Structure 1
Amino acid sequence: MADQALALNGVSRISGIERVVDVRMPTEYGEFVAVGYLDRSTGQEQIALVHGEIQEHAMLTRVHSECLTGDAFASRHCECGDQLSAALQAIVAEGRGILLYIRGHEGRGIGLLAKLKAMKLQSEGLDTVEANLALGLPVDARDFSVAAEVLHDLNVRSVRLMSNNPRKQEALEGNGITIAERVPLLATPHKENLRYLRTKRERLDHILPQLDGLAAH
């Protein structure tokens, strides 16, 4: 890993982002190199966690949208925390891989406070799509171009993408990243997020076969 950290040193040549720092970061899952970026266009700070040696093609990769409630507080309103944990475990088991943690994607890009407002509307009967629209906000405002820029900077041209979302795959492909394979990342549903997951499948095209046969709550 020390050699890997040295290999990551330097400033990005991609015009939209600047690679600022890389540092070894041990975690409960294994040891990673944390690579910090500044997105000049938005001022947002971004991070990539790299485990093992980087390969240019078919690198196991998770592009994870920031979710404070799920990732930090283990909210069962969504499956984000479970997916984050599962992705890090899968990368370490693989022996190499990248997790991009994309900040500015809270609530599918609407921000934390708006997401909390949308969650309140969902508790009153709306689904996740209806709640965003009721607030006058986009259903999904995320931009994945910065994820593609980071992958290019890390010299990754194609990935095995851990995702259930075909739209994320299309967004990365539209930004020059080849998807060698889509790897399912299926979290066990809870009664608290079952309706949310069903809405993601039925209205946002997520591929969630683990919902088949489950009774609605």
Structure 2
Amino acid sequence: MRDPRDATATSDSSSLIELPTATVRTRVTVPLRFGDGYTVTADLVTFHGLTDGQEHVAVILGEPAAGQAPLVRLHSECLTGDVFGSARCDCGPQLREAVERIADRGGVLLYLRQEGRGIGLYNKLDAYALQDQGLDTYEANAALGLPEDARDYTAAAQMLRALGIDALDLLSNNPDKAAQLRTLGLKVTDRVPTGVFSTAQNVRYLRAKVIHTQHTLSLTELTVG
């Protein structure tokens, strides 16, 4: 069922953003292996014509059943969490979960080069230093003169359209992702929550997501120890 915190599911056509066309550049099959031993074969797709000029990649996993919308995850790049296993965020576990859930259901993971909610790696690490002084993740961005969340999902919508996807179920706790995709003309039928991957080091960060940007995480599961 659609979450009430999402923006209105059906937008007036006059409010939709015109979406430039992107095209598939390359599609190649790659066997994936994760640190816990999970393996799956995926098709990686690159694109021409993405509006932001970034090298985003679509990871196609499985095939949806006939008549079923694909399960889609918009995953923003996180070097510290995805590659080095940082416990300061939940990005690595979310990526691992998403790949398996999408492979089981059939769909696409979009790996988006938007480190640090769009502020870049160096700025993200600067924000970490401010968080060590007591600010939360959003306050730290503001103290650096940066937006709380600078991500724009126009390129993600272009990628989905280039893959022939107009309707989808979105694997996300973030209502802004669904709202942006709908404004860009895609039909988000349902927003499916991810798991909650809390650690002693990231629980304050996860609580800030709920308080500042209405992520659908249960605060009762996010008690600061």
TM-score (norm 2): 0.84
Map 1:83-98 to 2 at 5 A. 83-94=94-105, 96-98=106-108
Q: Is the 8 A contact 2:71 2:171 kept in 1?
A: yes
Relative to structure 1, is the Cα distance of residues 38 and 46 closer, same or farther in structure 2, using a 3 angstrom cutoff? farther
Name 2:128's counterpart in structure 1. Answer: 119
Matches of 1:39 and 1:75 in 2, distance apart?
33
Aligned partner of 1:92: which letter?
A
CA displacement at 1:215 relative to structure 2: 3.0
Matches within 5 A, 1:7-46: 15-28=20-33, 29-46=39-56
Separation of aligned partners in 2, 1:128 and 1:56: 40
Aligned pair 1:164/2:173, yes or no? yes
Q: Does the CA-based 8 Å contact 2:46-2:58 persist in structure 1? A: yes
Contact 2:25 2:48 in 1 (8 A): yes
C-alpha distance after superposition, 1:16-55 (max 9, x if no partner): 5342111001112311110012445332111101123367
What residue ranges of structure 2 are gaps of 5+ in the alignment? Answer: 1-18, 34-38
Change (3 A) 1:45 1:215: closer
Query: Which deviates more, 180-189 or 161-170?
Result: 180-189
Corresponding residue SS for 2:215: coil
Task: Indicate conservation of the 8 Å contact 1:56/1:158, yes or no.
Answer: no
Distance 2:188 2:62 in 1: 20
Match for 1:41: what amino acid?
T
CA apart distance, 1:57: 5.9
1:81 maps to which of 88, 92, 104 = 92
Where does residue 100 of structure 1 map in the other structure? 110
CA RMSD of aligned residues (A): 1.7
Whether the 8 Å CA contact 1:38–1:45 is kept in 2: the answer is no
Please give the secondary structure, in 1, of the residue aligned with 2:56.
Answer: strand
Q: Read off the aligned partner of 2:165 and give its amino acid letter.
A: V
2:203 corresponds in structure 1 to 194
Contact 1:108 1:140 in 2 (8 A): yes
Determine what percentage of the aligned residue pairs are the same residue: 43
1: CA distance, partners of 2:132 / 2:74: 28
Deviation at 1:187, TM superposition (A): 2.8
Distance 1:75 1:177 in 2: 33
Higher relative contact order (CA 8 A, sep 6+): 2
2:72 maps to what in 1?
Answer: 61
1:9: which partner in 2? Answer: none
**In structure 1, distance between residues paired with 2:197 and 2:20:** 40
Counterpart amino acid of 1:27? L
Hey, what's the Cα distance between the residues in 2 that align with 1:35 and 1:213? 37
Residues 61/73 of structure 1: CA separation in 2 closer, same or farther (3 Å cut):
same
2:24 touches 2:163 (CA, 8 Å); kept in 1? no
